[in-house]
């Protein structure tokens, strides 16, 4: 209790959440985030906003992320 009072939540042991394994690495997530922040028009596409389907199609085609089911 003293340790918790002194350090708060940092004193609790770290638990790794169970769940689905990551499909994308942190580097791939960062590359995708950079890609998303740019306008689709910068890549020569006629639409003004990204949809998830369009983003996935273009990101896979350009090698930003691997094909995802």
In total, how many domains does the chain have?
1
The answer as to whether 18 is a domain residue is: no
pLDDT digits (tens, 9 = 90+) for 47-64: 888 888 888 888 898 888
Phi, psi of 51, rounded to the nearest 5 degrees: -100, 165
| Other residues' Cβ atoms within 10 Å of the Cβ of residue 32 | 16
The answer as to whether 4 is a domain residue is: no
Please report how the helices 52-61 and 26-37 are oriented relative to each other, as an axis angle in degrees rounded to 10: 120
The answer as to whether 52 is a domain residue is: yes
Domain span including residue 37: 23-69
The answer as to whether 48 is a domain residue is: yes
The answer as to whether 56 is a domain residue is: yes
Q: pTM for this structure?
A: 0.58
pLDDT digits (tens, 9 = 90+) for 9-44: 888 887 776 778 888 889 989 988 988 888 888 888
The answer as to whether 67 is a domain residue is: yes
The answer as to whether 2 is a domain residue is: no
């Amino acid at each position: 209790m003293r340790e918790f009072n002194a350090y708060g939540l940092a004193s609790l042991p770290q638990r790794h959440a169970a769940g689905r394994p990551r499909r994308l690495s942190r580097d791939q997530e960062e590359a995708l985030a950079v890609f998303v922040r740019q306008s689709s028009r910068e890549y020569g596409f006629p639409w003004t906003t990204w949809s998830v389907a369009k983003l996935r199609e273009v990101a896979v085609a350009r090698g930003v992320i691997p094909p995802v089911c």
